[in-house]
């Protein structure tokens, strides 16, 4: 197991569209486990492969409350979601391990169905995902398309966070140049 460095806003890897996974190799199984460990260590409730520098369609999620609930880890290869019938748009304050200290309201459907391949390559389908789990599925899948939650915030929140975002991007880019 290993804790992987998390890429921060301004890193171009976060803006690339990720490739579908055609074969779940032992290397990818290990990567998924390392991503879970990295997410628990952060701590966070979701992590997508671009956030550790890999443009592949893999996300990990665990929305159980640490110390209160048993862990519920999910490893999802090639995840796809759609809103359930009758899903309503809801507000929620989102954050992201790649955007430290930024929390803004994002509107997303409250109930979704997700399809993915598990660590054994078995197709899975989970209906009626709600609450934080539904939120996480959508947020992490966005990462695979190069989208970040700050793309979906209100104009007022954008203005409010503009200087923080610019500073973060600048710092990341100067760190990348030094590598
Ligand atoms: Zn994120």
Could you give all domains of the chain from N- to C-terminal order, each with its CATH number?
Answer: 12-178 (3.90.45.10)
User: How far is Cα 158 from Cα 173, in angstroms, rounded to an integer?
Assistant: 21
* Residue 179, pLDDT score: 77
Contact between residue 37 and residue 2 where contact means Cβ atoms under 8 Å apart: yes
Task: Determine the distance separating the centroid of ligand 1 and the alpha carbon of 104, expressed in angstroms.
Answer: 12
Helix (H, G, I), strand (E, B) or coil at 155: helix
Is 27 noted as a catalytic residue in this protein? no
Contact between residue 143 and residue 50 where contact means Cβ atoms under 8 Å apart: yes
Catalytic residue among 23, 84, 140, 171: 140
Per-residue pLDDT tens over the stretch 27-79 = 999 999 999 999 999 999 999 999 999 999 999 999 999 889 999 999 999 99
Helix (H, G, I), strand (E, B) or coil at 32: helix
Report residues near ion ligand 1: CB below 5 Å. Answer: 96
Could you tell me the pTM of the whole model?
0.97
% helix, strand, coil for the chain, step of 5: 35, 25, 40
Task: Determine the distance separating the centroid of ligand 1 and the alpha carbon of 97, expressed in angstroms.
Answer: 6
Task: Determine the distance separating the centroid of ligand 1 and the alpha carbon of 9, expressed in angstroms.
Answer: 10
Would you say residue 120 has pLDDT above 80? yes
């Amino acid at each position: 197991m290993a804790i992987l460095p998390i890429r921060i806003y301004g890193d171009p890897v976060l803006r690339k569209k990720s490739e579908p996974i055609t074969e779940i190799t032992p290397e990818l199984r290990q990567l998924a486990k390392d991503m879970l460990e990295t997410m628990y260590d952060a701590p966070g409730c979701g992590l997508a492969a671009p956030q550790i520098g890999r443009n592949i369609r893999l996300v990990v999620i665990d929305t159980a409350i640490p110390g209160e609930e048993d862990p519920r880890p999910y490893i999802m290869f090639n995840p796809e979601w759609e809103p359930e019938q009758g899903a309503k748009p809801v507000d929620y304050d989102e954050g992201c391990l790649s955007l430290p200290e930024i929390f803004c309201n994002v509107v997303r459907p409250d109930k979704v169905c997700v399809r993915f391949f598990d660590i054994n390559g078995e197709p899975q389908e989970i209906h009626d995902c709600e609450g934080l789990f539904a939120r996480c599925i959508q947020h992490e899948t966005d990462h695979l398309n190069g989208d970040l939650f700050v793309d979906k915030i209100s104009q007022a929140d954008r203005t409010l966070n503009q200087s923080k975002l610019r500073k973060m991007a600048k710092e990341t880019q100067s760190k990348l140049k030094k590598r």
